[in-house]
Structure 1
Amino acid sequence: MTNVRVTYDGEANAAYVYLNHPEVRQRVAHTYPCDPAAVGGMINLDFDKDGRLVGIEVLDAGTKLPQYLLDAAERLDT
């Protein structure tokens, strides 16, 4: 099983799911915002220069992500 890094800021109610290798720092070249009406909130998909998905930003994360994932996430608001 692959470990995925997830950060969560409870004050902002925002989470970020990193899909790149933990030792590789990748730059975001393009952000694709998902239609907020279609997904019931704001979700941004981040891609690198080669078009690979490297991260997912989830706003209003408390209603969009499972609680176990938020509980396990690295906290940014402490």
Structure 2
Amino acid sequence: MHIEYDHENDVAYVSLVAHIADGTAVRQFTLDSPGGADLNLDFDEAGRLLGIEVVGARAGLPEELLRQASRTDG
């Protein structure tokens, strides 16, 4: 599992696989979390969950987790 965080846009991505090649995520399911973040679940063609995009990450993820995430700002 790997977590990337874009502080400027407040978006985090939790990758559940080592690498997600372009075009691998063919289905996306969006959920509204009770905390105010939007969750976009990425699935491959076989229905396996590849990763989770968290829009509004400060509202939806623990602060400690965001501090430890790889930064993708810029």
For normalisation by structure 2, the TM-score amounts to 0.86
Tell me the percent identity.
Answer: 39
Gaps of 5+ in 1: none
Bigger-Rg structure (1/2): 1
Gaps of 5+ in 2: none
Tell me the C-alpha RMSD between the 2 structures: 1.5
Q: Give the structure with the larger strand fraction.
A: 2
Q: Which residue of 20, 28, 39 corresponds with 1:25?
A: 20
Q: Give the structure with the larger helix fraction.
A: 1
After superposing on structure 2, the runs of 4+ consecutive aligned residues of structure 1 that deviate more than 2 Å are 38-41
Alignment of 1:1-78 (within 5 A): 4-20=1-17, 22=18, 24-26=19-21, 27-34=24-31, 36=32, 39=34, 40-77=36-73
